[in-house]
Structure 1
Amino acid sequence: MDFVRVTSAQVLGHYRLRLGFSDGSSRDVDLTGELRGPVFEPLADPDFFAQVRVDDELGTVVWPNGADLDPLVLHGDFQPASRFAHY
């Protein structure tokens, strides 16, 4: 079974991304409420948030500080137990 991967990411502004997936689908995701915890708080800076890129090896979006998000959650296949876990 192949897992869906993020293939493209476009910043829409206001902590929103338009994502393309390996199954040909696309989805707009709003990360406004997810920018908590030591890894994700830096993304609250709009300039830093805009530095998002697709990591081809991981198949998801990443930021320069190492923050990333599960591509299956972004695709909408799974809901994490506590929305997004923060460690």
Structure 2
Amino acid sequence: MERTPRVASVRPAGDMRLLVTFTNGEGRTYDCRPLLERPQFRMLADPGFFRAVTVDVGGYGVSWNDDVDLSEYELWTNGEPVAGSVPLAFRRAVADTAKS
């Protein structure tokens, strides 16, 4: 079973979406709007709070504070792949081939 890649970076995008880049080089967008139905995520409706998202230590997810966070598994599994993002393993393979 393949491990879920960790989060390398995150930035808020429009329409309550997160643009997440993973350690394997792939990017995904994650729509946070459905989370607003759950009480623990209602603070995300505040634009200033939403923009304060950070990557957790070790890349195991993202968080806004100690109570509001998302795991790397959630972001990877339910995020939409970003067109044009290329997995790091593929980029390395191409670079290795070019060196030969």
Q: What is the TM-score when the length of structure 1 is the normalising length?
A: 0.75
Q: Would the aligned equivalents of 1:7 and 1:60 in 2 still touch at CA under 8 Å?
A: no
Stretches of 4+ moved more than 4 A in 1?
none
Moved more, 28-37 or 40-49: 28-37
Moved more, 41-50 or 57-66: 57-66
Residue 49 (structure 1) aligned with residue 60 (structure 2): no
Q: Would the aligned equivalents of 1:7 and 1:59 in 2 still touch at CA under 8 Å?
A: no
Residue 11 (structure 1) aligned with residue 17 (structure 2): no
CA shift, 1:48, in A, is 0.6
Identity %: 35
Q: CA RMSD in A?
A: 1.9
Size of the aligned set, in residue pairs, is 77
Q: Provide structure 2 residue ranges, at least 5 long, that are not aligned to the other structure.
A: 79-100
Flag the 1:39–1:51 CA change in 2: closer, same or farther, 3 A. Answer: same
The code of the aligned residue for 1:12 comes to: A
SS in structure 1 of the partner of residue 25 of structure 2: coil
